[in-house]
Structure 1
C-alpha cells in the first residue's frame, strides 16, 4: 500500500500560477510598448528601433543559452528567476534615467537579456519539481490569458502616463515577482532533503537520440516561423488583401487568443496519456489547414472559423512542444531555453517569408501558402525523428 505525498497548502500551490500571471503581464506590457519607449524617450527613428530591438533579441538569445546551462548545474532555477525580477527593476530605472539610445540598447542587452528569462526559469523550475505535462501546459495557458489583458493595459498606461508609465508598471510587476519568488524559495523542500530527479514522460523519445532531437528542433523552428509570420502579418493582410476593416483583424486575433486558453488546458491533459509527438503532429496539421484556409478568405465568417484550427495548432506546438523539449533535452533550464530560442529563430525567419509576398507570382496570399508548405515540411520531420530514434546509435571507434 502506497502513501500519497502530502499536498502543499493552497497558498503554496497558488504561487506558480501567480508568478505565471505576473511574468505574462511583464512581457505583454513590454513587447508591444518597447518600440514606443525607444521612440518617445530617445527620439529613435524606425531604423534605429529595428536595430536596437534586433540587438536586444540577440542578447536575449545568448542569455537563454548561457544562463540556463549554469542554472542546470546547480538546479538554481528559482534563484535565477529572482535575479530576473531584480534586473527588471534595474533595467526600468536605467531606461528612465538615461537619454542616449546607445546606452539604452546596452542596458537592454546587459540587463534586459537576463531579465527576459523569467518564463524560461519558471518552466524549468516546474520541470525540476516533477510537474506533469498538464501542469506545465496549464501554466502556459495562464501566461496566454495574461497576454490577452496585457496589450489593452499597455495602451491604457501609455495613453495616461507615456513610456515612463510602462517602465513604472514593470517595476511594480517585478516587485510582486520578487515577493512570489521569495515565497517559492521558502516553501521548497528542506535543504537536507534530496530533490527528486525530474520525471520523464513514457511517451518521450529514447534518451540519447541526438539526431532525432536535432530534427525535432528543426521542425519547431519551422512551426514557430510560420506562426510568427501569421501573427505579424494578419492585420495588414486582412485590410489590404481581404478587403475588410482593421476591426476584423482585431476580432480575429482576439478570438484566437480566447480559444488558446481552453485549447491549451485540453491538450495538456491529453499530453499525460497520448504521445507528445502525436499531439504535435495533429497540431501541425491543424496549423496547415489554418494557413491554407487563410489563402481562401474573402469574408469574416471563414476568417473567424479558422481561428479554431489555429488555436489547436498553437496549443499543441507551444504547449505540448515545451513538455516535449523538456523530455528530449537534458537539463530543465537548457531544454526550456532551447524551446524559447526556437521561437526567436522562427521570428527571424518570418521576415523573409513576409518579404516573399512582394514577388508577383505569390502576392500576400502566397505568404500563407509558404506557411502551409513549411508547416507540412515540419510535420514530415516528425516521423523522420521517430525513425532516427529507433535507429541504433553508432558505436564509438576504439
Structure 2
C-alpha cells in the first residue's frame, strides 16, 4: 500500500520540486547578477535577454529530441544534473561573462525540465484533466518559491540561493530516478505500456500557428498584468505599493483551486469552451480594472484574473498536447508562448504609460489582445472540426 502511494506521489512531487527549483531562481536572478557579479542595470537587461533567448531555443530543441527518443524521463535527469552544475558554476565563477556562459549553456536547457514532465504525462496517457491538476502543483510551488528565496536572502545573503538550488536539483534528480525505476520495473514485469490518450484534435500546421499566435496574445495580456500592477496601484490608484503585492498574491492563491476545478470540468466541458470562458472572464476583469478606485475593489477582481490565467495555464497546455501529436514539442511550444507573450507585454505597458489614461490604458489594450487571441483559437479549432466532419 505504501509503495502504491509512493508511486502516486512521484508525479506531484516532481512537479513541486521543478516548480520550486525555478520559482527560487527566476525571480531572484537579476538580484544575483547585481550582488555576485556587480552587473549594472543595462547589463542585467541584456543578460536576461540572452538567457531567455537561449531558453526559447532549448524549449523547442530538447523536447523535440526527447520526442524522437520516446523518452522524457532520462532527459529530465539530465536537466536536474545541469541545474546542479549551474549552481556550482554560479558559485565558482567570479565575473559576469562566466555567469552568462553558465546561464546559457547550463541554465537554458535545465529550464526545460518542467516541460518534459508534462510531455511525459501525456506520453504515459494523461489527459487534459490530469495535466491541469499537476499544473496546480506547479502553481503552488510558485507561491512558495519567492518567499523562500526572500527568506534565504534575508537570513544568509544572496549567495545562499545557490546551495538551495543545488539541493532542489538533487531532490529533483532523485524523484526522476525513482520514476525511471518504476517504469523499468513495469517493463520487466511485462505490464502493458501506456500511451497518449486518443483525444487528438486534427489541426493543420496553419491551424497550429493560429492557436500559437492566439495564446501568445493571451499570455501577453497576463504578463502585462503582472508587470504593470505595481505602477498601476501606486501611480494610477494612489495606493501603497503593498497593495499590488496583495492583489497578485490573491490572484496566485486563487489560481490553485481554479486549476483543480478545471481538472474536474475538463472531462465534461470541451477545451475550446473553457478557453472561451477564460477569455470572456478576462475581458470583464480588464474592463473592471479601469474603473476600480480602492484596495477592496482591486483585490476582489483578482478572482476573475485567477480564473483567466488558470484556463490559459492548465487548459491551454492540455489543448496544445491535443493539437500537436508530439508531446515534447507541444509542451515546449506552449512554454514559448509565455516567453513571447512577455516580449509583447513590454510595448503594451509603454503604450499605457504614454497615454492620458495612464497605466489603466494597458488593461484596455489587454482586453483587445484577449478578444483577438481567443478569436484566433476559435477560428483554428472550428475550422479543424469542420474539416474533420466534412
Give TM class, smaller chain.
over 0.9
C-alpha distance in 1, partners of 2:20/2:232?
28
Equivalences for residues 135-214 of structure 1 within 5 A: 135-188=130-183, 189-190=186-187, 195-201=193-199, 205=201, 207-214=202-209
Unmatched tracts of structure 1, length 5 or more: 1-5, 394-398
C-alpha distance in 2, partners of 1:161/1:39?
16
Equivalences for residues 372-387 of structure 1 within 5 A: 372-387=367-382
C-alpha distance in 1, partners of 2:378/2:110?
37
2:20 maps to which of 19, 22, 25: 25
1:321 maps to which of 316, 322, 325: 316
C-alpha distance in 2, partners of 1:217/1:362?
31
C-alpha distance in 2, partners of 1:383/1:136?
22
Contact 2:225 2:363 (C-alpha < 8 Å) held by counterparts: yes
Equivalences for residues 84-99 of structure 1 within 5 A: 84-99=79-94
Give the 3 Å change call, closer, same or farther, for CA 272–118 of structure 1 in structure 2.
Answer: same
1:123 maps to which of 118, 124, 132: 118
Partner of 1:262: 257
1:228 equivalenced with 2:223 (yes/no): yes
Contact 1:230 1:368 (C-alpha < 8 Å) held by counterparts: yes
C-alpha distance in 1, partners of 2:357/2:50?
31
State the TM-score, normalizing by the size of structure 1. Answer: 0.93
Please give the per-residue CA displacement for 1:285-317, whole angstroms capped at 9, x wherever unaligned.
Answer: 111111111111111121112111111111111
C-alpha distance in 1, partners of 2:381/2:130?
26
Partner of 2:78: 83
Unmatched tracts of structure 2, length 5 or more: none
1:72 equivalenced with 2:67 (yes/no): yes
Partner of 2:243: 248
1:44 equivalenced with 2:42 (yes/no): no
SS of match in other structure, 2:157: helix
C-alpha distance in 1, partners of 2:16/2:378?
36
1:238 maps to which of 233, 237, 241: 233
C-alpha distance in 1, partners of 2:330/2:160?
35
* Deviation of the 1:208 alpha carbon: 4.2
C-alpha distance in 1, partners of 2:286/2:130?
30
Residues matched between the structures, number: 385
Contact 2:228 2:359 (C-alpha < 8 Å) held by counterparts: no
Give the 3 Å change call, closer, same or farther, for CA 120–110 of structure 1 in structure 2.
Answer: same
What root-mean-square deviation, in Å, do the aligned CA atoms of Structure 1 and Structure 2 show? 1.7
C-alpha distance in 1, partners of 2:79/2:145?
19
C-alpha distance in 1, partners of 2:300/2:271?
26
Give the 3 Å change call, closer, same or farther, for CA 336–7 of structure 1 in structure 2.
Answer: farther
SS of match in other structure, 1:363: coil
C-alpha distance in 2, partners of 1:302/1:213?
38
1:342 equivalenced with 2:337 (yes/no): yes
C-alpha distance in 2, partners of 1:20/1:180?
10
Please give the per-residue CA displacement for 1:302-359, whole angstroms capped at 9, x wherever unaligned.
Answer: 1112111111111111100000000001211100000000000001111111111232
1:369 equivalenced with 2:364 (yes/no): yes
Give the 3 Å change call, closer, same or farther, for CA 7–389 of structure 1 in structure 2.
Answer: farther
C-alpha distance in 1, partners of 2:44/2:167?
25
Contact 2:203 2:380 (C-alpha < 8 Å) held by counterparts: no
C-alpha distance in 1, partners of 2:215/2:327?
18
Partner of 1:55: 50
Contact 2:139 2:256 (C-alpha < 8 Å) held by counterparts: yes
C-alpha distance in 2, partners of 1:357/1:138?
35
State the TM-score, normalizing by the size of structure 2. Answer: 0.95
C-alpha distance in 1, partners of 2:64/2:137?
26
C-alpha distance in 1, partners of 2:51/2:31?
15
Give the 3 Å change call, closer, same or farther, for CA 8–334 of structure 1 in structure 2.
Answer: farther
Contact 1:283 1:312 (C-alpha < 8 Å) held by counterparts: yes
SS of match in other structure, 1:9: helix
